[in-house]
Structure 1
Amino acid sequence: MPLPSNQLAALRGLSSPTVANAIETFKVRPREAGNLSSEIRALFSELGPMAGYAVTALIRAERPAAQQRRASIFAWWDYIQTIPAPRIVVMHDLDQPQGQGAFWGEVQANIHKVLGCVGVVTDGSVRDLDEVRRLGFQFYAAHVSVSHANVHLVDFGIPVKVGGVWINPGDLLHRDQHGVVVIPHEIAERIP
């Protein structure tokens, strides 16, 4: 069940280290769990903290998609609407090395902002930084790229591992310039 808007606003008033410290006091998971690695960096830290619900997907950019292995962008947009707002897209890049092509740039940020998304967390790459910063759409990424290459959706609505942490659709996330933390649902309303 999503948090009321006033509680989400209160969460946005906290730093991610404060949220992580609060979670530890409940002893619902090991201290090292739920905190994404530092490879996932805030690119627009001046936009401040964010809290929202995970919308998950897998991408690939290295080679063109075979039609039967490409997820429908229309089904993706429909799926996004099944997750409570505000939404944070969490996208795992299947390529090795990751970040060969950016799914995220000005066009995708505009589309996803209209769909109620406030940002993206990805171990892949992003681009069009100046344009996206002006939109107020948050980028947390491991890479910056000049190209989209052959990027395409492979699957969505499944658990994904980004920054060393498994994230499920609908997980509550908090992000700021320090990083990203997953907030356990069972204690979320007791954090702010």
Structure 2
Amino acid sequence: MINQTLLAKLQQVDTPTVCNAIEVAQGKRGFNQFTRGTMLSSAPDAGAIVGFARTAKIAANEPATEAADIIKSRRMAYYKHMFEGPRPALAVVEDTDYPNAVGAYWGEINTSIHKGFGMSGALTNGVMRDLGDLPDGFPVIAGSIGPSHAFVHVKSIAETVEIFGMTVNDGDLIHADRHGALVIPLDVIPILESAIDKLLTTEKLVLGPASEKGFNFEKFEAAWAAFEKSRT
């Protein structure tokens, strides 16, 4: 679980900030549990979405080959899985057709259902649509935009998925925004809030002087020296 103070802090900062803060918490560079490549946000001006992953896999390029009753049963099991579990929660859904995904699983109806379940947003390497009609307060971070749902169907539930090079297990804590997404390591959660505060304070040592009138190379050198000293 995550305390409300940390949750509020995570919702206030962007994903690059959290990415850097995790390295502050770990005391080294090299954190790599993040997405690669450009993703798209249905609400680029919205804040970050934070929550525990509820995972699934879908496909859409070809019709399902299993019996209709099996597909229907799995679809209902999928929605039950999304409804259950700890909150806050994010739907993290891998489209197994990627990089040739064509079926927009995330449209007005499906996003409204997930929002109604109390979820905070969705992360997918697949397709979204109905931009402008998606409900407020439920950002979708997706791999592409398209007009059709094609033959979209659920293939599996609660399995490990991969989104733009990032491995996600059901229950992982996710932070995502228009930059992409990352998995927050469980071992840094107790100190992540203080790491974010330290990072933001440290950055001001450069950002403050750089925004002041008369900023020059000499002032930059002094600011950068203070910045590097604070990071060691």
TM-score (norm 1): 0.90
Distance 1:44 1:96 in 2: 22
Cross-structure match for 2:184? 183
User: Structure 2 stretches of 5 or more lacking a match?
Assistant: 194-232
Structure having the higher helix fraction is 2
**Aligned-partner residue type, residue 49 of structure 2:** M
Percent of aligned pairs with the same residue?
Answer: 33
1:1-192 superposed matches below 5 A: 2-27=1-26, 31-68=30-67, 70=71, 72-132=74-134, 134-192=135-193
Q: Which has the larger radius of gyration?
A: 2
Secondary structure in 2 aligned to 1:181? strand
Distance change (3 Å), C-alpha of 1:96 and 1:114: closer
CA positional deviation for 1:96: 5.0
Secondary structure in 1 aligned to 2:132? helix
CA positional deviation for 1:32: 4.7
Q: Deviations over 1:28-76 (max 9, x none)?
A: 8962511111332223111111211111111100111123573612211
Q: 4+ residue stretches of structure 1 with deviation over 6 A?
A: none
CA positional deviation for 1:97: 4.0
Q: How many positions carry a matched residue from both structures?
A: 190
User: Would you say the 8 A contact 2:141–2:178 is kept in 1?
Assistant: no
**Aligned-partner residue type, residue 156 of structure 2:** D
What do you get for the CA RMSD once the two structures are aligned? 1.9
Distance 1:164 1:97 in 2: 12
Larger relative contact order (Cα-Cα within 8 Å, sequence gap ≥ 6): 1
Distance 1:56 1:28 in 2: 30
Secondary structure in 1 aligned to 2:176? strand
User: Structure 1 stretches of 5 or more lacking a match?
Assistant: none
Structure having the higher strand fraction is 1
